[in-house]
Structure 1
Amino acid sequence: MIGTVYKSTGSWYTVKNDSGTFFECRIKGKFRIQGIKSTNPIAVGDIVEFDVEKLGDDTVGIIHEIKDRKNYIIRKSVNLSKQTHIIAANLDQVFLLITLNNPTTYTIFIDRFLATAEAYEVPVVLLFNKIDAYDDEELGEIKFLAALYREVGYTCIGISAKTGKNVDKVKELMTETTSMFAGHSGAGKSTLVNALEPNLKLKTAEISEQHLQGQHTTTFAEMYDMDFSGRIIDTPGIKGFGIVDMEKEEIGDYFPEFFALKGDCKFNNCLHIDEPKCAVKEALENEEVAWSRYKSYVQMVSGEDENYRVDIHDTKK
């Protein structure tokens, strides 16, 4: 049988076949995907081939083949820095939830996520959540940041998962697609899923007052069928986003505004850092390229730890 992976716990996989029946499946023997050293050989969204076997009174699926992926989102494993973790596969789009505070989404996190999505050909929509909770000054910062990313070419929407503001716009984009929600814990992913599909009743939690961080409410990535003919993958909160398998010479190609200027640089292999007659640096000085994006790029090229952050409040400098 052929089916789609809806949930992965690391050892068991919930798979839905073409007729809509769910099976609890395991991997047969040693199962590895060629060319990918991942902590999870199979991810939510994968198309797999499996057989059904009787195990006592239970029916168990045995996965023996994974079909080629059209794309996937991958990051460095949290606990094993030399290994990677595939968050989800075969995506039509990813919605990255961004919050100004409670918790703060730093631009380095946004830019690392966007560069990875560009590298693996996954379209991204930026959702600036909790706009009901901001004062006029904070709303101004959100509008500035959204304008920055719209200029690069990304779709940006200000939403409130809590009040339902612009949730209809998100639903329209999700119709007839497989989408993923990503962002920090507490950014409102599960709240947004519940606003889109109240019957799911996903667990949500309040922000920790002591640390101003979200509480992890989603333990494993899981896909849900929506009543409006869309599918959403809800993911655990991501604290950091380590980039994977990018040579420093190619990182600039995953910043669309840098790639558009690359042909005007004096050197074909220009890194846009110390080289003379660099079109990107000239655009930067002319304020045609955002300083926050350039800082993120330099950090990624130099391999600096993500903990060196550019704050959202720093984007105008």
Structure 2
Amino acid sequence: MAKQKKLSKGQSRRISANHQKRLHKAKQQKADSKDITWQSDNLGPSEYAVVISRFGQHADIETEQGEILRCNIRRTVKSLVCGDEVFFRRAKVSEGDLAGVIETTEERRSQLTRPDFYDGVKVVAANIDQILMVSAVLPEFTPHIIDRYLVACEDMGIEPILLLNKVDLLDEQSRQHIDEILNIYRKLGYQVLSVSNKTGEGIEALKHQLIGKNNIFVGQSGVGKSTLVNTVLPNAEILTKEVSENSGLGQHTTTVSRLHHLPSGGNLIDSPGIREFGLWHLDVERVTWCFKEFREFIGGCRFRDCKHLNDPGCMLIEAVSSGNISELRFDSYHRILESMADGRAGARAPRV
């Protein structure tokens, strides 16, 4: 018998690609058949619910009666994330652990997004009412990071709350210095809370702020975000629970966003992938607008392409000189633009 000729790399790739196409077609046909099943008389009337978690083609939802149900998602539903308000139809006879099918979504009041170098801007949670931006004196109090968060919040249209944690570590002089910086944000209309999990300072005010709202905590490592979450949500160990991306059964696990009810009232949407917000996807003009104190001066510069650096006739520079814009915020603005340029360069780099 003649020895079989070894396949070239190109032939191997084509065979593998064709095999993957056949597998995809088979999976699609299986999904289509499931859709046909759900379109039968097996389904009840339309009901309202809120998505508390999403993984693959399934989502856990909570009904108005407080039931937690796992549902399939219609292929016509193009985007579904934690916090979405939906209408579903309950199965009269369920299929396995699936209780029904999600058919439509309500228009979102807001959406929490995260830019991705390869997949564009991703929506990770919906209908967020306020973002609590946690900072602390340790590891370092950094107004520049606060300004990055504020730009993201202004862009998404979500109310920010500045939360200074670990205030028990501040001596009188340090606290006065940081309070002077925070006054910059108070004068701009941003709400500022000072808390300490150790002494209990501000904790009740924080819990009150969360009532009746869909909330999310963000902050860099070391600022005490997890400790605060444990305080307002005692069973917070479930926040890092991993579920299967496809079936929720524990294999090929991935962290997912999940909505939790707070004992003191309100909801907490935990999104493990959100620690800080990249801004490289924004236009320079949009970032400028997101500094709210800049808005009354935008368009008044002598030159249309003013870079707000050393340009003659720059209204922003004049506003800094007159005290209408803080030097701290103006410095943050230019640092953000520099980091955006670096981020865009990284986004254009080929994937390896």
The aligned counterpart of 2:25 is: none
2:86 equivalent to 1:48: yes
The aligned counterpart of 1:297 is: 333
**How much has 1:167 moved relative to structure 2?**
1.1
Name the CA distance, whole Å, in 1 between partners of 2:118 and 2:297: 33
Name the CA distance, whole Å, in 2 between partners of 1:158 and 1:171: 12
Q: 1:265 to 1:219 in 2, by over 3 A?
A: same
Task: Indicate the SS of the match to 1:249.
Answer: helix
Q: 1:99 to 1:21 in 2, by over 3 A?
A: same
2:331 equivalent to 1:285: no
2:169 equivalent to 1:133: yes
2:109 equivalent to 1:70: yes
For residues 117-158 of structure 1, the C-alpha deviation after alignment (integer angstroms, 9 at most, x for no partner) is 112211111001111233445434432331222122211111
- Counterpart of 2:136 (choices 99, 103, 124) is 99
For residues 11-34 of structure 1, the C-alpha deviation after alignment (integer angstroms, 9 at most, x for no partner) is 5422111221111234333642xx
The aligned counterpart of 1:160 is: 196
2:180 equivalent to 1:144: yes
The aligned counterpart of 1:248 is: 284
> What TM-score does the superposition give when structure 1 sets the normalisation length?
0.76
> What TM-score does the superposition give when structure 2 sets the normalisation length?
0.70
Name the CA distance, whole Å, in 2 between partners of 1:110 and 1:13: 33
Gaps of 5+ in 2: 1-46, 241-253, 344-352
Gaps of 5+ in 1: 33-40, 206-217, 307-317
The aligned counterpart of 1:25 is: 71
**How much has 1:263 moved relative to structure 2?**
5.9
**How much has 1:300 moved relative to structure 2?**
3.6
Asked whether the equivalents of residues 179 and 232 of structure 1 are also in contact (C-alpha less than 8 Å), the reply is yes
- Count residues in correspondence: 282
1:182 partner letter: V
Name the CA distance, whole Å, in 2 between partners of 1:15 and 1:185: 31
**How much has 1:114 moved relative to structure 2?**
1.0
Asked whether the equivalents of residues 128 and 142 of structure 1 are also in contact (C-alpha less than 8 Å), the reply is no
Rg (Cα) greater in structure: 2
1:120 partner letter: M
The aligned counterpart of 2:237 is: 202
Percent identity for Structure 1 against Structure 2: 28
For residues 71-107 of structure 1, the C-alpha deviation after alignment (integer angstroms, 9 at most, x for no partner) is 1221213xx44422323221221111112323x4643
1:93 partner letter: Q
Asked whether the equivalents of residues 184 and 237 of structure 1 are also in contact (C-alpha less than 8 Å), the reply is no
Task: Indicate the SS of the match to 1:51.
Answer: strand
Name the CA distance, whole Å, in 2 between partners of 1:6 and 1:63: 13
**Greater per-residue helix proportion:** 2
Q: 1:172 to 1:294 in 2, by over 3 A?
A: same
**How much has 1:108 moved relative to structure 2?**
3.5
The aligned counterpart of 2:160 is: 124
Asked whether the equivalents of residues 81 and 126 of structure 2 are also in contact (C-alpha less than 8 Å), the reply is yes
Greater RCO, CA 8 A, separation 6+: 1
